[in-house]
Amino acid sequence: MDNPFSLVRASDYTNEQINSLWVELGENIIDTIIEPKLKISKFILGGKGSGKTHLLRYYSYPVVRLRNTELSGLETIKKQGFLAVFLRATGLDAARFETGSGSNLKWTQLFAIYLELRLAEAVLNSLCDIAASSDENFNDEEFIKEIGDGINNKDFFECSNVADVREWAVNEKKKIDEAVNNAAFTDTLDVKIPFSLGSLCLALNHALYKWCPNLKHIPVIYLIDEIENFSVEQQKVVNTLIRYGEGYITFRISGRLYSRKTSKTLGDGEENREGSEYKITQLDYMLRNYKEFNNFAKRFISKRFLATANINEGDIKASFDPSLSMDVVSSNDYFLGVIEKLDFEDIEALVKSKFHNALYKNGKSGVLLKEVDEIVETLTVGFPLILQKLNFLIFCKRINKADSYIGLAHWVKEQASLHMSNSLDSKDYYFVSYSHYSYDLLAQITKESKNSVDFPYAGFDTFVKMSSGNMRSLLIILGRLFAIAKFKGVDFGGPEKLSVEMQTEAAIESAQFLYESDSNFGEASDKAREAVLRLAQLLRTARYALNIPEVSPITVSFSDSDLNETARFVLNNALNYSFVFEISSGRPDRNSQRINRKIQLNPLLSPKWGLPVGRRGDLSLNAETLNSIFDQAHYQEFKLILAKLRDKWNDPFKKSVPEVDQGELF
Amino acid sequence: MIINEYFLYYRRSIDVDSINCELGPFDVFVSAYNSSDRVRTVFEDVRASRKIWLMHPEYKYAPIEYPDNGEYVAPEERNEKSQVEELIQALEGTDFNNICIDITGFMRHVLIFLIAKLKFIGVKKLKVVYSEPKFYRSQEDTQFSTVTSGTVGPVMGMAQGSDSEGDDYLLLGVGYDHELIGEVVNNKDSAKVYPIFSFPSLSPDMYQQSALRASKSGDVALEKIWQVNKRFFPANDPFAIASILSDVVKEVTYKDPKANIYISPLSTKVQALGFSFFWLKESKKYSSSLTIILPQCITYSRETSSGINRLWEYQIEF
């Protein structure tokens, strides 16, 4: 059986597959994202794998046509209520309009004409199909006359129908291709521009009505994918078309989160304004908060699996629930199942010695070795390993409020005993602490084991959580898992569940893939990757500390005004390439009540550093720490800051840590 | 019997211990300077009336580091047109039919455009040499391009507009730079990919090393198509490379006459030469469009290899 979860790039989906894929999500949701009837243009922004290309293609004429095979092209458009055509920005190879000689303005103009010809060509392709599939009499003469008003090219006026116009557009495009090529050798850009900006692609809507009065209220929508591939000047061209086309021609443009390089238009550089000339939808955010994503994911995965499996073999059920194929991490008996598999020389001694040393070395003056021994004994004897660790942690957290060390130790012991006998209320401090910190403490135990077992990542729900609403991310993990299971001779979906170890291996490989292989976009992604490594180092230092500063540390918060220019640029790129996500709610600053920005590591990356996948607490970063993470120039400072934080979080009894702004750090 | 034209071009290996006997004399010898032994050895040993170093800005040599054993041309701009124009200007008055270019240290985009430009200005034939390394310094971890701008685009003058009704195809010359592969594939993520590996490679271990590196190229390397569409061509023969490329292009065009074919040589400089030569020979032959694309490098490693294994001479005839 082939890997049912192997990645399929957008290109590999046929128009038929695009239709079947989105059936699951439902047309209403797609309509909400694309808003085809909206009178202004719209940017649809999101990370890789968020489905931008599919969404745009879903509305393009050829795909719409396939959903309505019983209808003619004309009937399809009337039923749909709009005519949308799809263009991939990379298809223009726009870089060649950037590097030529001569004035930049001339190259930008040429790009604009070329873009219009491409858009018009796509519309004309659709019209040719509409004409061929319908008995209606189309008024080609009026169509040509309407467009001809803005065309200054004698070849155009030899056209007698839409097919000729299409041919003309193709030929004009070829002339530009040739002129651009020749300019590289001759230094002369020898091409006559056949029309001025907007005269072709913006005129098509009126021409459509003249061609076929039945299409009077049918708007034309240009769907442009991957706008980040256009330069600033080229995006100005698009912005200008958006501005001039308002009302009768609109655009739906997709790109990464920070793919928009300018909102200016050509000429006087007037800016398009959000809400006035365009709207923005952030697809990632929408999908991350899509409540039905878990069910959608389950159906999607099940469908993929069953489509690939030979269901006639009889060993595959007609329905398939991926969650039943995977073992999960059992938290029973304080993670006994996980801890039993670990190989320790003397873990208890190791755990104790860290706490013991910290307390003895830096504790209140006058803490005697004997007293320290008693505290350690009180907090550990008779408790499972994870509770021993939790007891130390709670001791660290409560030390400042305690009158006596011994008294605190006994209170913690009492609470731990009550927890073990299930006598605590779910709101009790100890109970809450256990539910918050248990996985962080388990991570520490796995790290401290002699055989360096990885912190476990397992279970379908965990993987869905890690995918953060991005189906491609889920496929990356499951694809790896399938391959590993196959290699080890275990059937995915067979009677034997996939072990936690196998799943963890798949999760780590997926994280490695995302970090190293999946985001190569040159200098910008390289710098973002380095910054994310530093961020992860900080989070890891927090999670594996004796006194874990925040529960499940995967998120940081900071004031936007603290970012220097470079750090802001790098952070934007980290968001762009989905290394991190922005949490839209933000977090109020404890002192000023100002809303801080909140950034979370992409949980798909978490296994690379043994970090959590769920978000709970966040580390508040001061300006110095923030810029040392996101600005490579401050790398040396970062090393220093990290060392100090490591010291502080592992030496909770130390009275002061110089040069660290504790107030702002937490 | 139909003879494959590409097999008729002249190529020979030169004994690396007798370069000064076997290679030249030339009116001009041009080489791109970097810190690899193989580039400097050939430059020193070759017989030529004039020897010119092309100082690519991507290597970031400061003037104080420039070699003093020949003339040099040091373009400031990175784009291929500027670099080639400065070089051609330095060659003014030369009989272009007796020049030799060592492509070993050349930046790919400059090399590809240079070959096209020489054809454009009427050069009929040209001698080209390439020295194979004994090994790459860090085996499969060798870093070639160090920083790229993130822009992937056509080599100037070597793009043909795509057909809106045709599908995109990407014929990828696979080398060690998995980041570059990733960049090109990401840029053409609508394309059906044909990875073409260098096999036989320059030395037996290099195929394994490049395959290892290429496996880190992102989602494309995980796809079935990476295996199904895999092709091979030798690493050190530009004519054989052009011939195989020609076969793949024919195959694609046969299946899809409106195909938009992008070719991207990311392996040896010989491969870049083969791609350029093929484009010049055949780009107007097909109904499909053919475009050479490359990621834009900002910096490039000065030294990636050790020693000279073999030295090759090729005669390019336009």
Average pLDDT rounded to a whole number, residues B172-194: 87
Across the interface, which of B120, B165, B224 has its CB nearest the CB of A6?
Answer: B224
| Confidence class for position B84, pLDDT limits 50, 70, 90 | very high
Residue ranges of A 138-197 with Cβ closer than 8 A to chain B? 170, 173-174, 176-177, 180-185
Of residues A409 and B142, which shows the higher confidence score? A409
Give yes or no for a contact between B238 and B270, defined as CB atoms under 8 angstroms apart: yes
Which residue stretches of B91-141 are H helix? 108-120
Per-residue pLDDT tens over the stretch A568-625: 999 999 999 999 999 876 556 656 666 789 999 999 999 999 999 998 889 999 999 9
Q: Give the integer Cα–Cα distance in Å for A477 and A6.
A: 10
Residue B131: is it exposed, middle or buried by C-beta count within 10 angstroms (0-12/13-18/19+)? buried
SS3 label, residue A636: helix
A272, A239 contact by CB (below 8 A): yes
| Closest chain B residue to the Cα of A85, Cα to Cα | B164
A125 touching B, CB under 8 A? yes
Least Cα separation, residue A652 to chain B (angstroms)? 42
Q: Do A10 and B189 touch (CB under 8 A)?
A: yes
Distances (CA, A) of B88 to B81, B82, B187: 10, 10, 32
| Nearest chain A residue to B153, by CA | A95
Annotated domain spans of chain A: 26-289, 343-448, 521-666
> Smallest Cα–Cα separation from A8: which of A476, A335, A488?
A476
Beta strands B191-198 and B231-233 are: parallel
CB A215 within 8 Å of CB A257: no
Among chain B residues, CA nearest to A62: B165
From B222, B296, B298, residue closest to A7, measured CB to CB: B222
Chain B residues whose beta carbon lies within 8 Å of the beta carbon of residue A183:
157
- For residue B254, what is the enclosing H or E element? helix B238-255
* Residue A53 tokens, joined: 């290309």
Distance from CA of A216 to the nearest CA of B (A): 26
CA distances from A363 to A380, A549, A646, B32 (A): 19, 19, 17, 65
Q: Note the pLDDT tens digit of each residue in A532-569.
A: 999 999 999 999 999 999 999 999 999 999 999 999 99
Query: Using one digit for the tens of pLDDT, what is the confidence trace for B285-313?
Result: 988 899 999 999 888 887 776 777 889 99
pLDDT at A365: 57
How many residues are listed for chain B in this entry? 318
Query: For position A133, what pLDDT does the model report?
Result: 93
- Contact at 8 Å (CB) between B176 and B210? yes
Partner-chain contact A517 B154, CB within 8 Å: no
Interface of A with B in 444-483 (CB under 8 A): 476, 479
Determine whether the interchain pair B186/A185 forms a contact, defined as Cβ–Cβ distance below 8 Å. Answer: no
pLDDT tens by residue, A299-328: 888 888 887 776 544 455 566 888 889 999
Whether A524 and chain B come into contact, CB under 8 Å, resolves to yes
Distance, in Å, from the CA atom of A398 to the CA atom of A401, rounded to the nearest integer, reads 5
- How many whole angstroms separate alpha carbon B184 and alpha carbon B180? 6
Structure tokens given for A361: 């070395």
Residues of chain B contacting A125 with CB distance shorter than 8 Å? 164-165
**How many other C-beta atoms lie within 10 A of the C-beta of residue A618?**
22
* pLDDT reading at A666 higher than 50: no
> Would you call A271 helix, strand, or coil by DSSP?
strand
Residues of B in contact with A92 (CB under 8 A): 162
List, for residues A342-360, the tens digit of each pLDDT value.
Answer: 877 667 777 778 888 888 7
Q: What is the pLDDT of residues B207-257, one digit of tens each?
A: 667 666 667 667 777 777 777 888 888 888 999 999 999 999 999 999 999
| Residues in chain A closer than 8 A to B161 (CB atoms) | 93, 173-174, 176-177
Cα of first residue to Cα of last residue in chain A, in angstroms, is 51
Contacts 24+ apart (CB under 8 A), A19-22: A19/A58, A19/A63, A19/A66, A19/A67, A21/A54, A22/A54, A22/A55, A22/A58
Note the pLDDT tens digit of each residue in A13-63. 677 666 666 666 677 777 888 898 899 999 999 988 888 888 898 899 999
Q: Which among A2, A91, A513 has CB closest to B162? A: A91
Comparing alpha-carbon positions, the chain A residue that sits nearest to B166 is A91
CA A199/CA A618 separation, integer angstroms: 53
Contact A99, B153 (CB under 8 A): yes
Residues of B in contact with A520 (CB under 8 A): 178-180, 182-183, 186, 217-218
Average model confidence (pLDDT) across chain A: 87
CA A88 to chain B, closest CA, distance in angstroms equals 8
Q: Which residue of A has its CA nearest to B163?
A: A170
Residues in B closer than 8 angstroms to A88, CB to CB, are 190
User: In the predicted model, what is the mean pLDDT of residues A96-118?
Assistant: 84
At A224-241, the pLDDT tens digits run 999 999 999 999 999 999
Residue of B nearest to A177 (CA): B161
> A271 in contact with B at a CB cutoff of 8 Å?
no
Interface predicted TM-score (ipTM): 0.89
